[in-house]
Amino acid sequence: MKTAVIVFPGSNCDRDAEMALRQASGQDPAMVWHKDGTIPDGTDLVMVPGGFSYGDYLRCGAMAANSPVIAQLHAHAERGGYILGVCNGFQILCETGLLPGALMRNTSLNFVCKPQKLKIETSNSAFTSAYGRTSEISIPIAHHDGNYVADEATLDTLEGEGRVAFRYVGNPNGSARDIAGVISENGRVLGMMPHPERAIGGHEGGTDGVAMFESLMTAA
């Protein structure tokens, strides 16, 4: 499986993403600088990592959403490639229109950083199939703008089409309907605020992120 990580100025989880993809696939992912605008041919999965792209200036993910590489990201999605956006990556995917909704300031107005319990809403996706019958997992969170919002019609559509991947158990940020991660209409794009790439080795945040990358390897 060929993978890639998009790197923006201010990304700080790109190396975590690199390690997770290397562990899962056995190959080094391509590290794509955002101005290069080229995702290598044959790439199966692109990861848009967490951090503070452009220092979260203007609005989280807004400037990164206008980067040269975004056209390539859209093309990757249109040809059926997989995309995983985590934290700031989720914010960017919403800003680009690859996912619905937006991420707003936490209702507490505080940065939250802790292990977070999640309810797995579906195992019928390319991102969650390896979780099987597992109903709850623990994945680290670290964000200031993780409050997922969308209009009621969009939320109803996400629910009705089974596109809510994860919900918070004990909502840490005020997200609508406790939503922690959503999937695109074609099932190939997932955005989530929790960091599965920080839960693969046991020492940094458990191992509950491993099954997500195993799911993607199987799907690809």
Tens-place pLDDT, residues 64-81: 999 999 999 999 999 999
Q: What is the pLDDT of residue 189?
A: 98
Within its chain, how far is the Cα of 165 from the centroid?
11
CA distance 29 to 121: 29
Task: Output DSSP code: residue 128.
Answer: T
Catalytic residues: 87, 195, 197
pLDDT of 165 above 70: yes
Angle between helices 210-219 and 14-25 (to 10 degrees): 60
Query: What CATH number is attached to the domain comprising 37?
Result: 3.40.50.880
pLDDT at 205: 67
- The residue range of the domain holding 122 is 3-219
pTM across the whole model: 0.95
Q: Is the pLDDT at 37 greater than 80, yes or no?
A: no
- When the pLDDT of each residue in the chain is averaged and rounded to a whole number, the result is 95
Per-residue burial over 35-44, b = 16 or more CB atoms within 10 Å of its CB, e = otherwise:
eeeebeeebb
At residue 100, the pLDDT reads 98
Compute the average pLDDT of residues 190-213: 91
Give whole-number Cα distances, 92 to 8, 20, 160, in Å.
11, 20, 24
Count of the separate structural domains present in the chain:
1
If 0-12 CB within 10 Å is exposed, 13-18 middle and 19+ buried, where does residue 202 land? exposed
CA distance 181 to 188: 13
